[in-house]
A and B are shown apart, each in its own frame.
Chain A
Amino acid sequence: ETGVTQSPTHLIKTRGQQVTLRCSSQSGHNTVSWYQQALGQGPQFIFQYYREEENGRGNFPPRFSGLQFPNYSSELNVNALELDDSALYLCASSAGQGRSSGANVLTFGAGSRLTVL
């Protein structure tokens, strides 16, 4: 089975620009979560998608938005980039219903490293 794949692996943007990151979930997984990992820190939850709808969100502003597609792949969009948005963005997929899947293991992709200049 294929794992979680993310693209691009690295990208550089300037402040104020917009970025779209993409994620293909693991086969059989229907829930996708996005995390931001700043340098030297643990991953922080951005949001989760299940059945193409956002069903959980962390403490991130509205300029962070996402989509989930019928094939369970997902996008993370960040508008009006700020210097502090520089980080590794991790996508994770899991199986089962989004609401009651607390014990489910997340399978992570290798991440997209965003640098904002």
Chain B
Amino acid sequence: AQSVAQPEDQVNVAEGNPLTVKCTYSVSGNPYLFWYVQYPNRGLQFLLKYITGDNLVKGSYGFEAEFNKSQTSFHLKKPSALVSDSALYFCAVRDITGSARQLTFGSGTQLTVLP
């Protein structure tokens, strides 16, 4: 079975400050990990993914995420937050070795960047 936990329902950060949105995962084998963002009345937009290799993954709009196998974490980060980054963020996992077809999503973290 595969699962994702996003321990924070809400994260508030001031514009210009660094932001972190936390994600931990559980899979039987090795993971493919993804971050998606959802704006109001929109579908999910892909930000970045970890497949293999470098633990620090860079994605769209200045976001990056760090894969930590020992802590089974894949936290999303950005050095300097923008008000326009305010949205709902989802972490997702798929087990490389499993037969599951689906991405399993976390419950989401609402990020609010305050001006």
Question: Contact residues of A with B, CB < 8 Å?
Answer: 4, 33, 35, 40-45, 48, 55-56, 58, 90, 92, 98, 102-103, 105-111
**Is there contact, CB below 8 Å, between A106 and B46?**
yes
Closest 4 CB pairs of A and B: A56-B101, A45-B102, A42-B105, A108-B43
> Bound state CA distance, A106 and B44, in angstroms?
9
Q: Which residues of A contact B44 (CB under 8 A)?
A: 43, 90, 92, 106, 108
Given contacts A56-B100, A108-B43, 13 further A-B contacts (CB under 8 A): A33-B103, A40-B107, A41-B107, A42-B107, A43-B44, A44-B105, A56-B101, A90-B43, A92-B43, A103-B51, A106-B46, A108-B45, A110-B42
> Could you tell me the distance in whole angstroms from the C-beta of A113 to the nearest C-beta in chain B?
9
| Contact bitstring B20-53, A, C-beta under 8 A = 1, else 0 | 0000000000001010100001111110010100
**Is there contact, CB below 8 Å, between B102 and A56?**
yes
* B96 at interface, CB cutoff 8 A: yes
Interface size class of B (residues with CB under 8 A): 20 to 34
| Contact bitstring B90-105, A, C-beta under 8 A = 1, else 0 | 1010111000111111
> Could you tell me the distance in whole angstroms from the C-beta of B39 to the nearest C-beta in chain A?
10
Known: A102-B32, A103-B32. A33 touches B90 (CB 8 A): no
> Bound state CA distance, A88 and B101, in angstroms?
20
Residue on B with the closest CB to A56? B101
Residue on B with the closest CB to A44? B105
> Bound state CA distance, A111 and B104, in angstroms?
18
Can you list 22 pairs linking A and B with CB atoms under 8 Å apart? Answer: A4-B43, A33-B103, A42-B92, A43-B103, A43-B105, A45-B102, A48-B101, A56-B100, A56-B101, A90-B43, A92-B43, A92-B44, A102-B32, A102-B94, A105-B34, A106-B44, A106-B103, A107-B46, A108-B36, A108-B44, A108-B45, A110-B42
